[in-house]
Chains A and B, each alone.
Chain A
Amino acid sequence: DTEVTQTPKHLVMGMTNKKSLKCEQHMGHRAMYWYKQKAKKPPELMFVYSYEKLSINESVPSRFSPECPNSSLLNLHLHALQPEDSALYLCASSPQGGDYGYTFGSGTRLTVV
């Protein structure tokens, strides 16, 4: 299995909703990442987990809450989002160090209404 699987593919949520994005990989990678990507822009790093511990938080608002239950799973919990948070959310994983084998998921298209 050489894939990073993200669910759901599309999500529409209201500003008062609570939802979660899920990411799963079975490549034995020990680093996992969340990115946010706006249209026609490159992905922006949000969080990095290394060996299931949060190692980087790129000053992301607290309405985004990451969680890494185990080495194969990564969640992004969403609460009280704003319309400007609408974007493509990408998960990625890599062997520790990230130099090789960096793999992106297909993304979740999030729309906040």
Chain B
Amino acid sequence: KNQVEQSPQSLIILEGKNCTLQCNYTVSPFSNLRWYKQDTGRGPVSLTIMTFSENTKSNGRYTATLDADTKQSSLHITASQLSDSASYICVVIRGNQGGKLIFGQGTELSVKP
């Protein structure tokens, strides 16, 4: 079954601290994996897109990793800011599926002052 599982479900950290969010997937065939940030009541915004051959990709304070062998990805946030409070969604695109996205349930991150 094609699934994307994220952990933790929610996370509270203090401003300035780092954190890492996890994503495990069983999607096949695999095309690419994306991390999205979604503020409450707003559309998801893409943070990173990773293909099968990419191990690490950074976007400012966000660094995503991908291990295609173990089918695991992580999103590391450095020096968190209050504005990082949001839902972070891991999405896997199935190959040859014309845009079929498989969504994780998301990790709700809350950054406190």
B43 contacts A42, C-beta separation under 8 Å: no
The yes or no answer to A77 lying at the interface (CB within 8 A) is: no
Which of A42, A88, A94 has most B Cβ within 10 Å?
A: A42
Please report A residues at the B interface, Cβ cutoff 8 Å: 4, 6, 31, 33, 40-43, 45, 48, 50, 55, 88, 90, 94, 97-100, 102-107, 109
- Chain B CB count within 10 A is highest, among A31, A99, A107, for A99
A4: nearest chain-B partner, CB-CB: B43
A107 pairs with B106, CB closer than 8 A: no
B28 at the A interface (CB under 8 A): no
Given known contacts A41-B105, A42-B106, A102 and B46 CB-to-CB distance under 8 angstroms: yes
B1 at the interface (CB under 8 A from A): no
Question: Measured between alpha carbons, how far is A61 from B38 in the docked complex, in Å?
Answer: 27
Report the nearest A residue to B87, measured CB to CB: A40
Given A45-B100, A105-B43, 19 more pairs with CB closer than 8 A:
A4-B43, A31-B98, A33-B99, A40-B87, A40-B108, A42-B104, A42-B105, A45-B101, A97-B99, A98-B98, A98-B101, A99-B32, A99-B93, A102-B46, A102-B99, A103-B46, A104-B45, A107-B41, A107-B43
8 Å CB contacts to A: which residues of B93-113?
Answer: 93, 95, 97-101, 103-106, 108
Q: Given the complex, which residues of A lie within 8 Å of B46, measured CB to CB?
A: 102-103
B residues within 8 A CB of A94?
99
From the candidates A4, A102, A106, name the one contacting B101 in the complex (CB within 8 A): A102
User: Once the chains are docked, how many angstroms separate the CA of A50 from the CA of B105?
Assistant: 27
- Are B89 and A42 in contact, CB atoms less than 8 angstroms apart? yes
Size category, B interface: 20 to 34
Q: Of A43, A55, A107, which is within 8 A of B98 by CB?
A: A55
23 A-B pairs with CB atoms under 8 Å apart are A4-B43, A31-B99, A40-B108, A42-B89, A42-B104, A43-B44, A45-B100, A50-B98, A55-B98, A90-B44, A97-B98, A98-B97, A98-B99, A99-B32, A99-B95, A102-B46, A104-B43, A104-B44, A104-B45, A105-B43, A107-B41, A107-B42, A109-B41
**Would you call B13 an interface residue if the criterion is a C-beta within 8 Å of the partner chain's C-beta atoms?**
no
